[in-house]
Structure formats: C-alpha cells, structure tokens
Structure 1
Amino acid sequence: MERSMIFGIFGGLGLFLYGMNLAGDGLKRAAGDRMRNILEVLTSTPIKGVVVGAIVTAIMQSSSATTVMLVSFVNAGLMTLRQALGVIMGANIGTTITAQLIAFNLADYALPAIGIGFLIHLVSRRRVWKSTGQVILGFGILFLGLTVMSTSVAPLRDSPAFGRAMRAFGATPILGVLIGLVTTLVVQSSAATIGMLMAVAIASPDVITLEVAIPILLGDNIGTCVTAMLSGIGANVTARRTATAHLMFNVFGAVIFLPLLKPFQWVVAAASPAAGIQRQIANAHTMFNVLNTAIWLPAAGFLERIVTWLVPGEDVVVEIGPKYLDRRMLGTPGIALDLAAAETVRMGEIVQEMLGQSRTALTEAYTSKLDSELESREELIDNLNREVVLYLSMVAQTSLNEAQSRRLAGLMHAVGDVERIGDVAEQLMFYAREKFDQNIPFSETAVQELHRVFDLAEKILARGIVALRDDDMEAVRDVYDIHRALDESTDMLRANHIQRLNEGKCIPGSGVIFVELMNSLERIGDLAVNLADAVSGKKSPRVEPRN
C-alpha cells in the first residue's frame, strides 16, 4: 500500500507538472508576440505593472518564469527596479489562476480533454489551432495527474498519524510554512505544491482544513522565489535587487498574515461558505496575493529602498561583451529576437562612435589615442558580431512562427552589415594614419568636401540604426533618399578632386587617399541600405559592398 501510494503521488505529480508545462507552452505559442507587446506597454506606473504581471503570468502559467524574465530585462537595462516591482506583484496574482482552474476538479473531463486536445493538435495546420489543442491536452493531463494523486493519498484519511501531523501543523503554523517552502523548493513549482495540497484535501476534506492549508500556501509563495534568486546569480546589482524584491515581497506578506490567520480564515470561509475545501484553498491563495499587493503597492518605494539596502553597490558598465543577450529568454523567441535586435542596435551605436573618430582623425588631427580607441571598439564589434550570430543560431533552433523566422533572417543580415560598417570605419582610420605618417595634406576645399560626405554617411548610418531599432518605415525611406544623395556626391567629388590634381592644386598622394575615402564612405551608404532592407523586408537583391 505504501509503495503504491508513493508511486501514485510521484506519477501523478509528474503528469500534473507535464500537463501544466504543456498547457503553458501552448498558451505562449497561441499568444505569439502578443506577450512581448504586452510587456512593451510597461511604464513607471506600478498599477500598470501589476496588470501586466498578472496577464503575462496567466499566459506563462509560472510566476517564476515571469520573474526570471524580469531579472533578464533589468539586467539588460530594459526595465528599472521600480517598473519590475509592480510586475512582480502582478505575477503573484496571475499565478493564482492555475489554482482556481484546479479547484474546479474537472477529473471526469480529463480523459475527454486529452483525446480532444490531441486530435485538434494532430489535425490542425494553423498554428493557433495546434496551440489551442496543446492547451486542452495539457489541462487534461494536469487534471488526470491530480486525480491520480487524489486517489493515491485517499488512504491517508484513515491514518491516525496523518491526522496528528495535520493537527500539529494547525497548532504550529510555522511548520506549515516550512512544509510549503521545502515542497516548492523540491518540485520547483508553486502550482504543483498547491495541486498536491488540493489532492490531499479532496481525499481527506476533514483533515485538511484552512487552518492547515493557509500556512502551507504562505510557504509555497516564498519557495517559488528561489528560481528567480538563482537567475540573479552573475547578473548586475539591479537585477539581483529585482530577485530579492520578489523574495522580500512574499516573506513580508507571510510575516504580516501569520499573526492574522484566524481572521483571514474567517474571511476566506465567509467569501465561499458553500464551496469545497479545494475552492477555499484556491480563494485563500488569490485573496492573500491580492491583499498583499494592496498593502505593498502604495509602499513600492519603501520596498525598493529595503532591497537597495540589502543588495548594496552600483552597476558598473564595462564594454567587454554582450549587454542584452540572455540565453534564459531562448524559450520565448519573440523576446529573444528583441534582445538580439537591441544588441545589434548597440553595435550600430558603437560603430557611429568609430565613424566619428575616423572623421576627426582625417579632418582635424590624427592621434595614436584615437587610433587605439577605435581599434578597441573594433575588437568589441567583432566579438559582439560572433555573440549575436551564435545567439540567433540558438533562437533559430526553437519553434518560430513565420513572422519571427523572417525577422531572424533580417537580423542575421543586419548584424553582419553593422560589423562590416565597423570594418569600413577601421579602414578610414588606416587612411588617416597613412596621411599622417606620410605627411600628406588635404586642401581646404578637399576637407570641406570630405565633411560634406561624412555628414551624409553619418546621417544615413544614424537613420539606418533608427529604422532597425524602432522598425521605422519613415527612417527606411530616409535611408534610400540619403543613399542616392551620397552616391551623387561621391561621384561629383571624385571628379572635382581629379580636376584639382590635374590643375596641380593637390599632390598625387592625397588624390589616391581621397578617392579611397570616397569609396569607403559609399560602402557605408550601401551597407546602411542593407539595414533598411532588413527592416522593410525588401525582396530585391541585396546591395553588397563594393570591393
């Protein structure tokens, strides 16, 4: 009997967790990029953060996954700690949706749901219907696992030892908190802990009371923070503070509610007097998180100061590698592509600095310091190019919809184009060094013309980066317009410089360098057009750099 009970609990738990993961993955696939769009509406308003956190967690079926995502965003500089606090509170509310669904105890419908869900998933060709079938299948397996666990633990209701243990938990709530915390640490899922609690409650409603269940729920909420705390290891200071804030929010909530267990039990029971114990457990879970949010939302600034004190230090920005790429986001391709795009835009901004340094060296004064700084940036660009390509290759191995596949292909091209613009900036610095070493002067007219072309090159690069960053079609059109102007200018200025050479106004050495500079600046325009094409999805042959 004991062996069959243990096997039943573990087997049922395995089915429960697998079903929950399957349903959550199906919901994410059905949502597509809508979850990313939801996250994009985040502002500094904590109430909006709560709403966003609840919605995203309801979709992902995991508050831990939401918090890990937050830690990643804060680590990448895409969110502030204050923004993350509201989302954390909302995530705790969103995760109670799973418990509310479990409380319906749809055991009789588990097998039909599995059959219907599998059939829809098998025969459907459209992504949204396949994902819907996966969600139904997942919830069917979840309820089947719940049934297996409930059946397995049914003999416990006649066990005197189990009854004594439950009465001890009721008399000493801190024991219940520890049980909930440890169980969630082991199974890495607060919903699974609540599922097991409900399974026992269904089998032994006279033994599992609210007095026993609520402390376990409080410990369960604390235990779910461990995943986020682990994700904060190696992250920056603000990201670690975000993970700590999640822990503190739940710890403080438990500290506040433990002394108030009796009145809280009365409120829960009064809210659903005719409901079974499983529904009352789900309601207690929801009410605790809603009330805890209501307490701490107005005090978000105070909570921020606490975690800042607990996790001291300042973030130091060091340009040694990727800033935005986060492998923890590979399971959510839309967000992973956003991070890759942000890293590519960062590369573009660094390349803009390199182009400015080359311009200074050519038109004002070359220095070895400028040369060295540009070389360091070029090494960084080469490293970032490798990292982004590797990251995108890993994203490509996940399940992408058609729009995401097109975006990934565009980013693959864009990151290479940005890296090549960095190579052109390095080449421009080489010409500046040659000009300095050989003491080759440019006439005042040549310098003015060079400024004119640099203006166009810097402008087209800037608009190309804006197009890539904001998916801005107006910037795309600007790139095409500037490209025509740049080509016309370089053609005309080459002819002007050759004429000055023929008239003896410039020395031959400067002529060679000037013409090469025009070629290099033209290449920047060509590559910027490629960036615009990546955004617009242009089907025409790509503009390749001239040799």
Structure 2
Amino acid sequence: MELLINIAGGVALLLWGVRMVRTGVTRAFGSGIRRGVSAATRNRFSSFFTGLGVTTILQSSTATALIVGSFGGRRMIAVPAGLALMLGADVGSTIVVQVLAFDVSWMSPVFLFIGVTAFLSSENSRRRAIARFFIGLGLMLLAIKMVMLASVPLREGPTVSLLLAPLQSEPLLAILFAALLTWIAHSSLTVVVLIMTMVSLGVMEIHLAIAMVLGANIGSAITPVAMNWGSDPAARRVPVGNLLMRATGVILTFGFIPWIVPYFADFSVDSAHLIANVHTGFNLVVAIIFLPFVGWVARLVVRILPDRAGPDDVLAPKHLEEESLDTPSVALSAAARETLRMGDTVEYMLSRTMDVLRNGTLDQIKEIEREDDIVDSLHEAVKIYLTKLSRQELDPAESRRVVEILTFTTNLEHIGDIIDKNLLELAAKKLKDGSVFSKDGLEELEALHSDVLANLKLALSIFMTGDARLARRLMEQKVHIRELEQKYSEAHYNRIRDGKTESLNSSSLHLDVLRDLKRINSHITSVAYPILESTGQIAESRLRDE
C-alpha cells in the first residue's frame, strides 16, 4: 500500500510540475505565443515549425490545440494551417521526453533553487512566471526520481506482472487503457515518462510499452476534442482533424510493433531512450505522411463538422476563452473586448431611445428591450470570467484592472436597466397617452441626450486607453450635465407657468426623462474616478475640513 501511495504521489507531483511549466510560460510569454500562432499561416511548413516551437516551450500539445481551436472558432486561422500547426505541435511535445530519457535528475535542486529564489525576490509578474517555469522543471525531475525509487521493489514482486498480464496479451486493450489514462491526466508527457520509468526498471515489457505510447498519443488528441465539445464547429475542426490523423497513424503502426523494437534499438542508448525515440519517431512519421495532405483532411473535417445553420447566439460572449485564464494579460484583454461589445450595445440602446421618445412605435420599443437581454447576459459572462481569473496569482496592476472592468461592466448594466425599465416605459406611456413634448422641451431633451451619448462614447475610449486628460474632460462633463438638467428643468417650469398646454400634459414625462439621462451620465463618468485618483487629480471626499 505504501508503495502505491509513493508512486501515486510521484505521478501527482509530475503532473503538477508539468502544469507549473505550462502556466509559467503562458503567463510570461502568452501574448507573444498567441500572436505567433495567429501569424503562422503563410504556408503549411511555417505553420508546422511554429507549432513545433510553441509546443516545445509550452510542453503541452493540448494547450496549443486549444489556442488553435479558439482561433479557428473566430475564423482567424484556416483549417489546413491549423492542422499543419498541430502536426508540428505533436512533434514538439516529444522534445522534453527526449531530454528526460537521460538521467538529469541531478538538475532538480538547481532548478528549484533558481526558481524559488527568483520567485521570492521579485514582485514583477513576468519574472515570477519565469520562476514558476524553473520550479516546475525542478518538480518534474524530482517527481521522476521519486517514481523510480518507489518502483524499485516492483521488480522483485509478482503484483505488477499480474496486473499487466491482460495488457500484455491484448495490445489493443493496452492502447485503449493508455489513451484513457492520458485523457484523465490531460498530459501525454506524464504518461510517457511513467512508461519510460517502468521500462527502465524492467517492470514493463518493451512491446507493451510501445503499445501504450501509441495509446498516449491518441489520448492527448482526445483531450482538446472533449474540452471543445460544446463549441462552435469551426473551433472543433482542428482538434478533430488532429485526432483523425493520430488515430490513423496508430492503426498503421499497430501491426509493425514487433519490427519497431530492433530498428530503434540500433540507435538507442537504453530501453528508456528507445521508448522516447519511438514516441518522437511516431509523431515525425505522422507529420511526414499527413503534411502534404492537410488540405484533404481539412475538407473531410469541414464535411464532418459543417457550419451551424441560423444566426449566431447574440447572447453568448465572443472573446472570453477559458484557455486564456492561465495568461492574465490575455484574459484581461479578452474581458475588456467583451466589455467594449457590451458598451456598443448600450450605446445603440441609448442612441435609439430618443427616437422612440420622439415618435416611436411599440415594435421599436420591444426591439430595444431585447438589446438589454444581451447587456445582462454579457455582464454575467464577464463577471464569472473575471471571478475565475481572480483565483489566479495576479500582480497589483492586474488586480486593479479586474476591479476596473467589473466596475465598468456593472455601470453599463445599470445604464441598460435605466433605459429598459425607465426610459422605454416612459416612451410606451407617452405612446399610450398620446402626450406631446413642446417644441422647446423636445429640443432641450435632444440636446441633453446628445451630450450624454457623446459622454458614453468618450467613456468607452477612456476605459480602453486610461487617458487621464480625457478622464478629466469627462468629469468636467458631469458638472455640465448637472447644470443642463437644472437649467432645462427651470425652463420647463417657466413654460408651465406661462400656461403652455404641451408642457402641462407632458410635465411628469419630461422631468423623468431629464432625471434619467442625468442618472445615466453619472454611471458613465464613474470610469474616470480610478484614473483621476491614481494621478492625484481628485480628492477623496468633498467634505470640508472641520
């Protein structure tokens, strides 16, 4: 029992080390990696080598597949280029296996010392991410040493032989078992390293090990397919195509397992290195076979996964990618883009509001009301996304940006509610009662509405740029809007005093519209507060000192 616990602990530590390496790289260089992937579409060869390079750094073909899948979902990368990139990614994922086939466990304390020292001595998010990368490497090497030491007693006992006997006689079952294990672990690297360890200790027979390596290659291709299962068909095409190519490669290789061993034994240092060479060789052969035919495979997966009929779901977020959460800078950019989309919807609602107040119809009112459903849905999506992001380790600037985005989306949602629950109800009431604004009153409402709409556009620009000069201008507009509201209210009362019939009949309606537009502007100007506070241009309180 103690033996199994030690092995399980070593495997768990290896999985955690792999994750730390991946998250360290994505946090430090995630934006550059994604830009490189999106730019690598000139031809299949540039795509192949980009995939190889990116995955050698990330050490996760699954992570690369998710990035490529997200680009495919937004039509930012063609399916043939994505497939070529994944062929390179599959080869890249074998590079570290080649290194780990040699005894480099002595490097573990070195990497751990470098990583921990760098992590504790810096508050810079990129440096800490690079430190995380070194800690992950150290943990991986330490975990492999743990598994090897814990597995030594297995050579003397019959337990493992009894457990592996069914797999030994049924190589197809061994492939399926390794595929399942890899899918559960979400890491072919971990499974292949475990297989190498068992082979080097003489616990696992070499032919069985090769069958399980083939299974691990299928399992690593299943993971991104499963994780993208509910996505748009365009986002699933590259992962599905990669799975088809790997599965075909396994089928073609399966019958040649007995002939593989003597061929690779000629240039392998030991049995562990032989398994690493088989793993790399398999992915190289698959790449050589399928690289000329990625166009044909692309047409096949497009036929298997055609575009969905009907319009896109307007309530669904378009930029919030789960795989970006490991890279806070990318995730924050995605949340900001979704917030801008939300802002554009609110701007459309506000711009149409004056039309329906002037002479709108019930159909127009209902159309604008439906837009508020989009605002509410996007607000909820951004809030959940940023809540997940906040569980990550963020530096102070990233934490502040999370709060800024959440605050701004909340204010946009409030503006949508004011338009939906107040202004549109006032428009419906005006239509039902047949009320008419006076000529002067309508001009005043249009002038105030125009200024508030201009301020909303300015606020969206400030949200993205953080420009202190524009933020100050927006705050000055808050005073201007308040003065206009007071001025127009007094002018309305003067018209009532003069006995103007239209003003008497529409008095409550007119004043409510003025009040709601001022409330909307208050929510708009909130985006300026954190910027002006950070630059010392605004006091914490308006109260005078006693």
The alignment's TM-score, normalised by the length of structure 2, stands at: 0.76
CA distance in 2, matches of 1:94, 1:403: 34
Alpha-carbon offset, residue 457 of structure 1: 3.9
Match of 1:373 in 2: 367
Q: Which residue of 2 aligns with 1:221?
A: 217
TM-fit CA distance, 1:451: 4.8
Counterparts of 2:233 and 2:190, CA distance in 1: 31
1:262-281 correspondence to structure 2 within 5 Å? 273=267, 275-281=269-275
Q: Does 1:436 align with 2:431?
A: yes
Which of 507-516 and 397-406 deviates more? 507-516
For 1:137 and 1:331, locate their aligned partners in 2 and report how far apart those are by CA, in whole Å: 17
Out of 220-229 and 525-534, give the one that drifted further.
525-534
Comparing 241-250 and 123-132, the one that deviates more: 123-132
Instruction: Say which SS state the counterpart of residue 231 (structure 2) adopts.
Output: coil
Q: How does 1:162-311 map to 2 (within 5 A)?
A: 177-178=175-176, 180-185=178-183, 187-204=185-202, 208=206, 215-255=211-251, 273=267, 275-290=269-284, 292-293=286-287, 295-297=289-291, 299-311=293-305
CA gap 1:314/1:79 in 2 versus in 1, 3 angstroms: same
CA RMSD of aligned residues (A): 4.9
* Partners of 2:241 and 2:301 within 8 A in 1: yes
Partner of 1:421: 415
**How much does 1:411 deviate?**
0.5
Cα shift at 1:340: 2.9
Q: What are the ranges of 5 or more consecutive residues in structure 2 without an aligned counterpart?
A: 542-546
Answer yes or no: is the 8 Å Cα contact 1:483–1:526 preserved in 2. Answer: no
Whole-Å separation in 2 of the counterparts to 1:193 and 1:528: 53
Taking only the aligned residue pairs, the percentage that are identical comes to 25
Compute the displacement of 1:214 (Å). 5.1
Aligned to 1:142: 140
Q: 1:400 maps to what in 2?
A: 394
Amino acid at match of 2:346: V
Partner of 1:491: 484
Q: Report the CA distance shift for 1:422/1:15 in structure 2 as closer, same or farther (over 3 A).
A: closer
Please say if residues 408 and 527 of structure 2, whose CA atoms lie closer than 8 Å, have aligned partners that are also in contact. Answer: yes
Q: Relative to 1, partners in 2 of residues 1:482 and 1:139: Cα closer, same or farther, differing over 3 Å? A: closer
User: What is the rounded CA distance, in whole Å, between the counterparts of 1:290 and 1:442 in structure 2?
Assistant: 76
**What SS does the corresponding residue of 2:30 show, helix, strand or coil?**
helix
Q: Deviations over 1:256-299 (max 9, x none)?
A: 555787998899778xx475554454354345435544554554
Does the aligned pair in 2 maintain the 1:215–1:258 contact within 8 Å?
yes
Could you say if the C-alpha distance between residues 6 and 378 of structure 1 is closer, same or farther in structure 2, counting changes exceeding 3 Å? Answer: closer
Q: Contact 1:107 / 1:143 at 8 angstroms: preserved in 2?
A: yes
The answer as to whether partners of 1:460 and 1:479 remain within 8 angstroms in 2 is: no
Q: Give the whole-Å Cα distance in 1 for the aligned partners of 2:50 and 2:538.
A: 42
Shift of the 527–266 alpha-carbon distance from structure 1 to 2, 3 Å rule, reads farther
Instruction: Tell me the CA shift for residue 195 of structure 1.
Output: 0.4
Q: 1:500-539 residue pairs with structure 2 within 5 A?
A: 504=500, 507-510=503-506, 513-514=509-510, 516-531=512-527, 539=535
Structure 1 residue 361: Cα displacement: 0.6
Please give the secondary structure, in 2, of the residue aligned with 1:400: coil
Distance 2:531 2:525 in 1: 10
Structure 2 CA distance for partners of 1:169 and 1:327, relative to 1, 3 Å: closer
Q: Deviations over 1:76-120 (max 9, x none)?
A: x48567375455444324422331331332123335544665555
Q: 1: CA distance between counterparts of 2:89 and 2:250?
A: 17
Q: CA deviation at 1:13?
A: 2.5
| Cα separation, 2, equivalents of 1:522 and 1:126 | 42
Q: Would the aligned equivalents of 1:35 and 1:56 in 2 still touch at CA under 8 Å? A: no
Contact 2:23 2:326 in 1 (8 A): no
Query: Is the alpha carbon distance of 1:93 and 1:442 closer, same or farther for their aligned partners in structure 2, counting shifts above 3 Å?
Result: farther
Q: Which moved more, 1:233-242 or 1:354-363?
A: 233-242
Change (3 A) 1:147 1:389: closer
Distance 1:54 1:537 in 2: 46
Which of the residues 395, 403, 412 maps onto 2:406? 412
CA 133–349 in structure 1, closer or farther in 2 if over 3 Å, else same? closer
Q: How has the CA–CA distance of structure 1 residues 259 and 481 changed in structure 2, closer, same or farther, with 3 Å as cutoff? A: same
Alpha-carbon distance in 2 for matches of 1:418, 1:311 = 37
1:360 aligned partner: 355
For the Cα contact (< 8 Å) 1:410–1:535, is it kept in 2? Answer: no
Matched AA of 2:304 = L
- CA drift of 1:351 comes to 1.5
CA distance in structure 2 between the partners assigned to 1:369 and 1:389 by the alignment: 31
User: How many angstroms does 1:27 deviate by?
Assistant: 3.8
